[in-house]
Amino acid sequence: MKLKRRRKLVTYLNILDQPVRFNPFVFSRTFLLWALLGLLGGIIAGVYWIVLEFLTHQLTFFTGWQVVPLMATCGLLAGLIIHFIGDPGEINLIVNNIRFNKGKLNPKNNTSMVLSSLLCVASGGSLGPEAPLVQVTGSTGTWLGKLFRLKGEELRSLSIAGMASGFTALFGAPLGGSLFSLEILHHKHAVEYYRAIIPAFVASCFSYLVFALIIHLGLGPVWDLSAYEYTGIFDFGYAVLFAIVGAAFGWGFIFCTKFFKSVFEKRPIPIYIKTFIGGILLGTIAYYFPITRYFGHHEINELLSGNFPLTLLFAILIFKIVAISITVTSGWRGGFIIPLFFVGATLGLILHQLFPAINPTLAIVSCMAAINACVTRTPMSTTILLATLTGFGHFIPILFASLTGYFLAPRMPFIGSQMEKE
């Protein structure tokens, strides 16, 4: 009898020595890891944005003909940074690493990416800061995963969550940023990596909170579009028609980019020479059409509030597409999502001037959605991002336009790493 009591006592003591595993909630310690990643991503994005705003403010004093030598010099410096410090690559490299390198994003070239992108974006290149932020925050997720000895899908999910935190901070859309980090991997792999969606949500929410506190970001739309009122079922048809036009210009952008890519790759020249030539061309375009300078975050509101004649809008549309193509192909570092939104806004205004009876807001948002979905193949995140950025409360017309742009995209994707690979 005493022996049985002793055995029970030993059993109870062994149970007490073990960690308590009972948890009635889904909440777990991995949540804290995702939250920590989001906090780090928000801090990185906030610091990057403050430095970018400071540099941009300093360089805005260069106007008129001065923008040509300014952008040429910044292009040269960015090229020298890439040449001597290391090539950080573009979005293709990020996607390939997530898909084929077990989700590992190498942080060794983050310095080169940050410095070169700051020069390119602040000087007035038609590229946004989303690509540098996605690279840096995604590699932070990889570093954090290795620190906690994560492997396999857990490490890949943390890298994707890091990407989402950087993208979310810039656009202020946690849901859109999370979906973008999956969609950009190609729709097939978006389903395959669906387990990363909750880590991406958590990291995005915490990143958005920190970023908003750092830069005093408020709630509400970023771009001042006029209010849209639903007029009937035909609005969905109009959205599709506008999206068809938008997809056609998405094709135009892709062909324009391929043309300049062939020009810059015709002869093997150092990266700093390419960025220098690109700076001269971009400065020349900015001299004649100042509104095409910069990535379009503030310029879209200027475009919407201005009373531009039809011929000038056509010129802005064409030369903005050319400017984005040059920046993408000449070695300048940055993203092209917001610049494509600018192209869509310009196209929507043109359609409204050609057909005054149509709703301008519906035309603008539909064109923005179609062009971006056609080029990046991200219809779901595009829909949510535009609803957040424009205050367009009706999801379905935007979704119709996004899907139209997606299904009318070229069979060969613009982002080469989105192709099917075994």
Q: What residue ranges do the domains of the chain occupy?
A: 30-215, 234-418
Of 197-201, 256-260, 276-280, 391-395, the one with minimum mean pLDDT is: 391-395
The single-letter DSSP state of residue 217 is: P
* pLDDT tens-place string over residues 18-50: 454 555 555 567 888 888 999 999 999 899 999
Mean pLDDT throughout 147-155?
Answer: 79
Report residue 16's pLDDT band, with 50, 70 and 90 as the boundaries. very low
Domains 30-215 and 234-418 share a fold: yes
Q: Which residues contact 303 (CB under 8 A, 6 or more apart)?
A: 291, 316, 342, 345, 346, 349
Tokens for 143, please give them.
């570093």
The pLDDT assigned to 97 comes to 59
Q: Where are the beta strands (DSSP E) in 94-239?
A: none
For residues 276 and 392, which has the higher predicted lDDT (pLDDT)? 276
* pLDDT tens-place string over residues 330-378: 888 888 888 999 999 999 999 999 988 888 889 999 999 999 999 988 8
* pLDDT tens-place string over residues 178-229: 888 777 776 555 555 567 788 888 898 999 888 888 886 666 667 777 777 7
Please answer whether residues 82 and 272 qualify as being in contact, where contact means their C-beta atoms are separated by less than 8 angstroms.
yes
The pLDDT assigned to 422 comes to 40
Helices (H) and strands (E) in the chain, counts: 18, 0
Tokens for 19, please give them.
């960690």
CATH of segment(s) 234-418: 1.10.3080.10
The pLDDT assigned to 295 comes to 81
State how far the Cα of 41 lies from the Cα of 36, in Å rounded to an integer.
Answer: 9
Looking at every residue in the chain, the average pLDDT score rounds to 83
CATH of segment(s) 30-215: 1.10.3080.10
Residue 204 burial (10 A CB sphere; 0-12, 13-18, 19+): buried
* C-alpha distance from residue 410 to each of 193, 252, 336, 366, 421 (Å): 24, 11, 18, 19, 17
State how far the Cα of 104 lies from the Cα of 96, in Å rounded to an integer.
Answer: 10
State how far the Cα of 221 lies from the Cα of 171, in Å rounded to an integer.
Answer: 10
* pLDDT tens-place string over residues 92-103: 556 665 655 566
